[in-house]
């Protein structure tokens, strides 16, 4: 018994001495210092026997508030087929997009293969002990991806695999993203907190090339052109040109210019930037706006003939000269000049064109620019010459093919079922050459209540077409009448002038004779 208690006493004192020695040691050699010294050494030792290399990709690196693009790209890349490989997944729904995007959950590991090389990806989470107050949500929790590969594959991974992950990830990311419709803010709102040059809403326009009424041949041509453009990254690089394409859509109101833009955006899955030029003060602002647009986007300038005097400086000068000739009150003239200056923005045609042609080249990335106008003749030829606007698309009145598509979409009506009504419409459109916009045709075909049958709507369209014919006839008559009246007044004026000068002449002769 005595020996037992002795053993306990000795153990107790030995432990006490150990604790004492450890405390003294800790005091002179703090634990983190020891770790600092020994860790690299330990890692070197591990490196000798452990054949793998690890790379970490943090969610937030550098600037704390900005999510890393690389992390995003990896997440998208791994979401591509992690759903079939990882066992634990997290589901995210991209706003505005109906599909759910699956990505691997924390602490999951999946393998990937590239050029016969195997790699391991792990999603990890690090819980920091900091209790500091932070504006950043869940600042204590930092996520990262860990890539592991054999050290003999180092070259393949660093030289090719990572680039492959980035480019693939970006493509998947673009596909999963919520597409946006942007509109530019007036420059007064560009500074201060919440500064943004563009405001956006989710782009959810339902128009597609299937719903767009247009001849099939023309539609196919445009679709092919768009596909060719979006696949031509290397070609544009090779020829040293900016990866952009310009379209000019022209035609009367209601022929589907805006609808075509929406269909293009949906077809290519691009964002849309609706640029309102009247709120842009000058070329510098225009440049700053355009530089901030993202890749894979369509920049739209609607009704260019209305938004600016895009016919350029020449016309303006001519007008000024003409005005100078007038004997108007100088004060009035100054007032008018000031009013004009305030009214319009100072964005010039050349500013716009220079940007499209030149600066854009340095922005990189694919962009489409679309101009629309109702009056192509009003535009300066410089704007629409080949090379600047790569493709001109005329949106015209509703033809037979366009009508058939609208009838199918709006009423599920086919030629076989309603051949008589279809024949009559064909006659009106093709023989009588009645011009009606697809917007008006659609309006007549639209079922406004349950009572309205397919036949009812088709007959309503026939009536509307006939009315349109009468209306057109009246318009032509009115125009001819107006023209005639104008000619009459001109002729009268000429005659009056002639008689006046004759009278003057006679009076002159008479005075001479006197
Ligand atoms: N070609 C078309 N195919 C299908 N729908 C069309 C077509 N053209 C017009 N529409 C219908 O008419 C409406 C008006 O068309 P849209 O706004 O595209 O015309 P627009 O040419 O842009 O006219 P504006 O010159 O006045 O801007 C659309 O909502 C669409 O439903
Ligand atoms: Mg429009």
Q: Which residues form ligand 1's pocket by a CB distance below 6 Å? A: 211-214, 253-259, 374, 395, 438-439, 442
Give the helix ranges, DSSP H, for 359-453: 360-363, 381-384, 400-411, 419-426, 438-445
Give the count of beta carbons closer than 10 Å to the beta carbon of residue 265: 24
94 to 174, 206, 279: CA distances (angstroms): 11, 18, 32
Is 273 in contact with 302 (CB distance < 8 Å)? no
Task: Please state, as a whole number, how many other Cβ atoms lie within 10 Å of the Cβ of residue 264.
Answer: 25
CB 288: neighbour CB atoms within 10 A? 13
Instruction: Please report how many Cα atoms fall inside a 13 Å half-sphere around the Cα of residue 354, on the Cβ side.
Output: 9
pLDDT tens-digit profile of 326-362? 445 555 555 555 455 445 557 776 777 777 766 555 5
Question: Ligand 1 atom 10: the closest Cα is on which residue?
Answer: 439
- Answer for the pair 76, 176: CB distance below 8 angstroms, yes or no: yes
Note the pLDDT tens digit of each residue in 472-492: 899 999 999 999 999 999 999
* Neighbour tally for 310: CB within 10 Å: 23
Distance 264 CA to ligand 2 centre (A): 14
Q: Render pLDDT for 397-430 as a digit per residue (tens, 0 to 9).
A: 999 999 999 999 999 998 888 889 999 999 999 9
Asked if 427 and 465 touch (Cβ cutoff 8 Å), the reply is no
Query: Global pTM?
Result: 0.69
Range with the poorest average pLDDT among 97-101, 106-110, 146-150, 189-193: 97-101
From the CA of 249, give the closest atom in ligand 1.
Answer: 21
Give distance in angstroms: CA of 169 to centre of ligand 1.
36
Ligand 2 mean position, distance from CA 452 (Å) = 29
Q: Give the Å distance between the CA of 428 and the centre of ligand 2.
A: 26
Nearest bound ligand to CA 437? 1
Q: What is the predicted ipTM?
A: 0.98
**Residue ranges near ligand 2 (ion) with Cβ within 5 Å:** 257-258
Write the DSSP symbol of residue 278: G
Q: Is 97 exposed, middle or buried (0-12, 13-18, 19+ CB in 10 A)?
A: middle
Gap from CA of 479 to ligand 2 centroid (Å) = 27
Least confident of 6-10, 173-177, 178-182, 438-442: 6-10
Query: Which is more confident, 382 or 135?
Result: 382
Mutate which of 408, 437, 438, 446 to test ligand 1's pocket (most atoms within 8 Å of Cβ)? 438
Report which protein residue has its CA nearest ligand 1's atom 31.
439
Q: Distance between CA 244 and CA 295 in Å, rounded?
A: 10
- SS3 of 212-269: the string is CCCCHHHHHHHHHHHHHHHCCHHHHHHHCCCCEEEEEEECCCCCCHHHHHHHHHHHHC
The structure tokens listed for 121 are 């990806």
DSSP letters for 80-95: HHHHHH-SSEEEEE-T
Tens of pLDDT, residues 352-373: 777 776 655 556 678 898 999 9
Which of 307, 442, 444, 446 to mutate for ligand 1's pocket (most ligand atoms within 8 Å of CB)? Answer: 442
**Coil/strand/helix, residue 122:** strand
């Amino acid at each position: 018994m005595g020996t037992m208690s002795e053993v306990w006493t000795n153990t107790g004192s030995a432990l006490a001495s150990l604790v004492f020695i450890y405390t003294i040691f800790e005091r002179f050699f703090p634990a983190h210092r020891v770790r600092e010294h020994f860790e690299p050494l330990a890692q070197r030792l591990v490196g000798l026997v452990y054949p793998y290399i690890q790379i970490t990709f943090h969610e937030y690196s550098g600037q704390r508030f900005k999510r890393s693009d690389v992390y995003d790209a990896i997440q998208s890349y791994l979401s591509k087929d992690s759903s079939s490989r990882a066992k634990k997944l997290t589901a995210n729904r991209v706003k505005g997009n109906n599909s759910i995007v699956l990505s691997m959950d924390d602490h999951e590991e999946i393998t990937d293969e590239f050029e016969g090389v195997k790699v391991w990806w792990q999603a990890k989470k690090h819980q920091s002990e900091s209790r500091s107050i932070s504006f950043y949500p869940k600042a204590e929790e930092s996520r990262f991806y860990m890539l592991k590969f054999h050290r003999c594959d180092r070259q393949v991974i660093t030289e090719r695999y990572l680039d492959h992950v980035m480019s693939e990830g970006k493509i998947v990311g673009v596909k999963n993203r919520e597409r946006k419709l942007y509109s530019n803010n007036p420059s007064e709102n560009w500074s201060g907190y919440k500064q943004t040059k563009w405001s956006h809403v989710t782009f959810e326009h339902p128009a597609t090339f299937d719903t767009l009424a247009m001849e099939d041949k023309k539609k196919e041509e445009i679709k092919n052109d768009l596909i060719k453009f979006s696949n031509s990254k290397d070609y544009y690089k090779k020829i040293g040109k900016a990866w952009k394409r310009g379209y000019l859509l022209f035609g009367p109101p209601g022929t589907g210019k805006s609808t075509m833009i929406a269909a293009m955006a949906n077809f290519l899955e691009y964002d849309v930037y609706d640029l309102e030029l009247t709120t842009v003060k000058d070329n510098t602002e225009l440049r700053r706006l355009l530089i901030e647009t993202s890749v894979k986007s369509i920049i739209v300038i609607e009704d260019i003939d209305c938004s600016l005097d895009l016919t350029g400086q020449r016309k303006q000068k001519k007008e000024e000269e003409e005005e100078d000739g007038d004997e108007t009150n100088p004060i009035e003239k100054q007032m008018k000049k000031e009013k004009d200056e305030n009214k319009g923005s100072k964005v010039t045609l050349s500013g716009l064109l220079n940007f499209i042609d030149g600066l854009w080249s340095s922005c990189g990335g694919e962009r489409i620019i679309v101009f629309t106008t109702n009056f192509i003749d009003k535009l300066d030829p410089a704007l629409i010459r080949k090379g600047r606007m790569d493709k001109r698309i005329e949106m015209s009145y509703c033809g037979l093919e366009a009508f058939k598509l609208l009838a199918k979409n709006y009423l599920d009506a086919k030629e076989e079922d309603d051949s008589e009504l279809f024949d009559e419409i064909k006659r009106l459109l093709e023989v009588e050459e009645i011009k009606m916009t697809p917007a008006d045709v659609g309006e007549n075909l639209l079922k406004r209540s349950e009572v309205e049958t397919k036949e009812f709507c088709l007959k309503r369209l026939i009536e509307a077409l006939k009315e349109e014919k009468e209306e057109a006839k009246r318009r032509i008559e009115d125009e001819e009448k107006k023209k005639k009246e104008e000619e009459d007044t001109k002729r009268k004026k000429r005659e009056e002038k002639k008689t006046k000068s004759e009278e003057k002449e006679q009076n002159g002769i008479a005075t001479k004779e006197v």
